[in-house]
Chain A
Amino acid sequence: MQPIHPEQVQQRIDALKGQDLYIHLEMTTGAYAAHHDNTKHPAATFVTNATIRYLHGSIAGNGPYRVGLKMLNGWLYSEGLTHWEETDSERLIMAGHDSQGKLVVALHLSRRPF
């Protein structure tokens, strides 16, 4: 994974619009959040291989970045993205890692199932 390059991510977002895509969308505090600090509220959610189609989408911010994808009947939104996989030319693989490298958020888009 490499630090996000917003212009290149935008090009990839544009290339994937208007078609059925499989998504992996996730956010997590980690299963041990409350074990390490009982003031923390552990939460996690993910969906894998649901399909979406967006009419247009963009990346915003100065890092960590936000991505919003406008679908026919709603939105997909993700905040806190820091890294992407620039070597993957078919898919858009993005994630947000905290200062210790731990994954906090992930947004992946692909024409084929993950």
Chain B
Amino acid sequence: MRDEGTSMNKRILVILPHPDDEAFGIAGTLAKAIREGAKVTYACLTLGEMGRNMGFPPFANRITLPAIRKLELEESCRAIGIQDLRMLGFHDKTIEFEDQDALDARIDGLLKELHPDLVITFYPGYAVHPDHDATGAAVVRTIRRLPPEDRPVVHCVAFAKDTVQALGHADIVNDVGDFLRQKMASIGAHKSQFQVAEWLGTNKPKEKELRERFGTERFWTYRFE
């Protein structure tokens, strides 16, 4: 295992399939790390072209959605402070059917270029959406091929109903209560996907409620052995 490094010069590589995958589970952790000096690269595999949400009332369609979601993703990254966004150009819903060698090669290229201390992705098999599971599987598969001493630490997001039963409780629990402004701005950037005002209700929620609902982010460290 590589040393996680001090936050001052920590390099974090985030690999997720959809614009908005960063918003609920990771945005606060990234904002906090960036405040502490980390450099973050976010590799987003698709543009979420097949998303069902088109705004309410719908303002997008299948044809306009990719361009809209690209702008939303860029806005979310600005809100979090992410310095480097890569859009890898895969198609939504197809990650599990992609040529595995080609997919792994893209991920391996990022690892070789960036030498991250930490990689954040989805936990394969415990991330509900087939694209999430396939992305996590590709990341884990590619990192496993590295010599153990060259492997970055891998923190995984998991939210399948049987996660705790199968994997135990998350070993990384981040309090991101001081970074809710960035996190809510990240969520709010994805206007076609989330009607933030609607679920927060007409009354502006109190700081305490927001902290309870959004103030903790959990990760499972992937064990390669």
Instruction: Give chain A's interface residues, CB within 8 Å of chain B.
Output: 1, 24, 26, 28, 30-32, 35, 44, 46, 83, 85, 91, 93, 95, 97, 100-104, 106, 108, 114
- Taking a contact as CB atoms under 8 Å apart, the answer to whether A101 and B53 are in contact is yes
- Taking a contact as CB atoms under 8 Å apart, the answer to whether B56 and A95 are in contact is no
- Nearest Cβ distance between residue B158 and chain A, in whole angstroms? 13
Q: Does B224 contact A (CB under 8 A)?
A: no
- A-B contact sample (16 more), CB < 8 A, given A24-B62, A106-B62: A1-B57, A1-B61, A31-B129, A31-B130, A32-B128, A46-B50, A46-B93, A83-B61, A91-B63, A95-B61, A100-B56, A101-B53, A101-B57, A102-B54, A103-B58, A106-B61
- Nearest Cβ distance between residue A54 and chain B, in whole angstroms? 20
Q: Which of B50, B51, B58, B93 contacts A95 (CB 8 A)?
A: B58
Q: Which of B54, B93, B160 contacts A101 (CB 8 A)?
A: B54
Instruction: Give chain B's interface residues, CB within 8 Å of chain A.
Output: 50-63, 93, 128-131, 160-161
- Taking a contact as CB atoms under 8 Å apart, the answer to whether A35 and B161 are in contact is yes
* Sampled A-B contacts (7; CB under 8 Å): A1-B54, A1-B58, A1-B61, A93-B62, A101-B58, A103-B51, A108-B62
- Nearest Cβ distance between residue B202 and chain A, in whole angstroms? 18
- Taking a contact as CB atoms under 8 Å apart, the answer to whether B53 and A102 are in contact is yes
Which residue of A has the minimal Cβ distance to B65? A103
